[in-house]
Chains A and B, each alone.
Chain A
Amino acid sequence: MLQTARAVLEKDFRIELRTRDAISAALVFSILVLVVFNFALDVNTPEMRRLAAGFFWVAFAFAGTLALDRSFALEKESGAGRALALAPVDAGGIYLGKCAANAAFLFITQLVALPLFVIFFDVSIQRAGALAASFALGSIAFAAVGTLFSAVAANTRMRGLLLPILFLPLSVPALIASVETTSFALGNAEGPSFWFTLLVVYDVVFLTASVLVFEYVLEES
């Protein structure tokens, strides 16, 4: 299973290095949203600074759907995903590989968007380690749910609409926990252990469940 996951992960990285489609789409979108927030709201107030983490993650949740959509579009494009699904490999391995690639792309997008976020919202990073953990666990959470549901949505005609409809509500707990842990890293919240635990549990539960059910998702018609 891990061999399959590695092969799929490397393939997605190679494609992303060549095209930069997923990361650039997500990045442009999240920057746009941050800019719009910045102009639409008066962000230079203490209240706003406390809400900054929330704005960041909301921008990021929507941007993430673009990257996820791209991840499955490339499997659909010339039917390569069909061949992948028919290979004599564990479906869970395919899921883990796609999920790992997506999580990495989301994490990279966040790191690149971070400086703009810091400037626009005038926040300062108090705890870098906590911020990295928050970003990483949050990215994994989004990728875990998103990879599962973009595979579900990929076989339908309304892929673009269905993905956010399925994916955003389910990721609300992860979203809240990500906001709280990022707030903590920015020095705007206390008592992060509950939220970090929630994120870890959420990641483990969704990864495990998805690995188990992915076989049925790949079976179409």
Chain B
Amino acid sequence: MSAHALECERITKRYGRIAALNSVDVSVDPGECVAIFGRNGAGKTTLLHVAGSLIRNFDGEVRVFGQSRGDNGSDARRTTGLVLHETCLYDDLTAAENLRFFARLYQVSDAERRAGDVLARFELADRAQSVVRTLSRGMKQRLAIARAMVHRPRLLLMDEPFTGLDEPSSQTLVTVLREFVRDGGAVVLSTHDVERAFDVATRAIVLERGSLTLDRSLADVDAAAFRHAYWHVLFTGTARA
């Protein structure tokens, strides 16, 4: 029945007395790129972790392409790519070794070639043989994104993916994500950069102390108008019509 790439229903996650997420409902369709905004501690990371099943102990329901996360389904795992605050890379393996290892785990048939392709896509081909420990922060971030995409996921969950990237690399990521979305992929990313989000996102949501306070398409607003709405939510706690 559902063609949603990601469906989160009444997600509540408590840490002691703090509700990091408070009955959050959000669904994302193929071809959408949703930017999550919100102040530090608003629950962006928690939402991405719940959606990516890094957190399993929560109330509510998460489905990926119709499959419940609760089923522990390997289809949902196979279709999801994750970029976290951590790089999720082995620091003592080279860039290429990391990608080949994860490609193998996901049973990518042309693992070698695919690893080479994503390295090239993120302009890391010349550092393929470098041990990750020796890469710069921005290079590690690019490699982390390449790792998240090496198995050709259809849903990308990215926690502040632009962090540490220089201007050309950010542009590359924007281009890659646009292509990804155009080809029917779905993206959820958290960011603090309204302009950057406008380059790539089709929709924006705002989280505030664990609650969803704004959810709007970006098709018919410009960055200035959205920024205005965003700030309005942050300072008054209510969305304007």
Contact = CB atoms under 8 A, between A and B. Distances in A.
A212 interface: no
A83 B102 contact: yes
Q: How large is the interface on B (under 10, 10 to 19, 20 to 34, 35 or more residues)?
A: 20 to 34
Question: Which has the most chain B C-beta neighbours within 10 Å: A14, A74, A78?
Answer: A78
Interface centre among A14, A18, A80, A84 (most CB of B within 10 A): A80
Contacts of B56: 219-221
A88 B53 contact: no
Contact of B84 (A79, A220, A221): A79
Nearest to A19: B92
Given A83-B82, A83-B102, A88-B106, A221 B97 contact: no
Contacts of A89: 74, 105
A87 B89 contact: no
A3 B109 CA distance: 13
Contacts of B88: 78-80, 82-83
Contacts of B80: 86
Contacts of A88: 74-75, 77-78, 105-107
Nearest to B73: A88
B54 interface: yes
Chain A: number of interface residues, binned into ranges: 20 to 34
A59 B98 CA distance: 35
A37 B90 CA distance: 38
B142 interface: no
B142 to A, nearest CB: 15
A15 B93 contact: yes
A47 interface: no
A37 to B, nearest CB: 33
Contact of A15 (B57, B90, B105): B90
Contact of B147 (A3, A7, A11, A83): A83
B43 interface: no
Nearest to A10: B101
A4 B54 CA distance: 20
A83 B77 CA distance: 10
A84 B105 CA distance: 8
B87 interface: yes
B234 interface: no
- Listed residue (B57, B77, B89, B104) with the most chain A CB atoms within 10 angstroms of its CB: B104
B103 to A, nearest CB: 10
A78 B91 contact: yes
A87 B77 contact: yes
A42 interface: no
Contact of B53 (A18, A83, A86): A86
B54 A86 contact: yes
A190 interface: no
A89 B106 CA distance: 8
B55 interface: yes
A213 B80 CA distance: 25
A11 B101 contact: yes
A220 B80 CA distance: 19
Given A84-B105, A86-B52, A87-B105, A18 B86 contact: no
Nearest to B101: A11
A82 B54 contact: yes
Contacts of A82: 54, 84, 86, 88
Interface of B: 52-57, 74-75, 77-78, 80, 82, 84, 86-93, 97-98, 101-102, 104-107, 131-132, 147
22 contacts: A3-B104, A11-B97, A11-B101, A18-B131, A19-B92, A77-B91, A78-B91, A78-B132, A80-B88, A80-B89, A80-B90, A83-B82, A86-B53, A86-B54, A86-B77, A86-B82, A87-B106, A88-B77, A88-B105, A89-B74, A219-B56, A221-B55
Given A84-B105, A89-B105, 7 more contacts: A3-B107, A7-B105, A78-B87, A79-B86, A82-B84, A86-B53, A86-B82
